[in-house]
Amino acid sequence: MAKLSGKVAWITGAGSGIGEAAAGALADEGATAVLTGRRSAPLEDVAQRIRAAGGEVHVQPADLTVAAQAQRVGEFIKARLGRLDILVNNAGVNIVDRHWDKLNPNSIDYMVKGNLTGALYCVTVALPFMRAQQDGVMIHTASMAGRFIGNMSGPIYTVAKHGIVAMSHGLNMQECVNGIRSTVFLPGEVATPILDQRPNPVGPEVRARMVQPADCGDLIRYIACLPRHLVMNEVHLAPTWNRGYVAALQRPL
């Protein structure tokens, strides 16, 4: 029997990249997948592939930076499925004009809401299910930028992802008594469409050396399948050919 048979997984940012890979991996392991993102068409494409492979899936588009829309997805899950076992809190954004000389209040709000506020809203939706069950797993996609401060990702993305790290550890501190486990996932460079939002996008040869979405999906499935008495508090996943390390090696000493 599949390890996640009978479980319900809510995956945000599920229309592409890490979210798409996680949805497929969890569905392959038997979970019923609920897919959320802002755009319906990519979600339907992912859902079609899951159904073709024999999985059960539901599409629930939403702008998760709006609390009422996040709550609406929770209401659907409660009415239709009656439980929530896994939250993959993956939705995120970035912008090209990401540095201090280009930032303004509107772009700051967009970045904080898209990378931190929406994730917090999803946690508030998931917690009542998981507390009632005395069981549940949350997996939050942060970034290496959530642990290490640098210039590449931009200051507001870095601030928001540090917030995701703090959120996840805080959940374990308070919700461990309710059987809830929270993992913060900190990937290095991943070959996803968000790379196109960099000021200097890289080509296919560079992307091929990065972490791939399927690698992330496999790791998320592993975390979701851990026994209840274990929590993976934090996990890093980086490419062997780490461009930051390579650049450092090439600089003269």
CATH number for the domain harbouring residue 136: 3.40.50.720
Looking at residue 186, its pLDDT comes to 97
Q: Please list, in sequence order, all residues whose beta carbon lies within 8 angstroms of the beta carbon of residue 30, skipping any fewer than 6 positions away.
A: 1, 2, 3, 4, 5, 6, 7
**Confidence label for 39 from pLDDT (cuts 50, 70 and 90):** very high
Domain, as residue range, for 242: 8-250
Residue 3 domain flag: no
Sort 198 into a burial class: Cβ within 10 Å, 0-12 / 13-18 / 19+.
middle
pLDDT band, very low/low/confident/very high, at 150 (cuts 50, 70, 90): confident
Work out how many domains the chain is built from and give that number: 1
Average pLDDT, the chain: 95
> Which whole number is the average pLDDT over 79-85?
98
- Note the pTM of the prediction, 2 decimals: 0.94
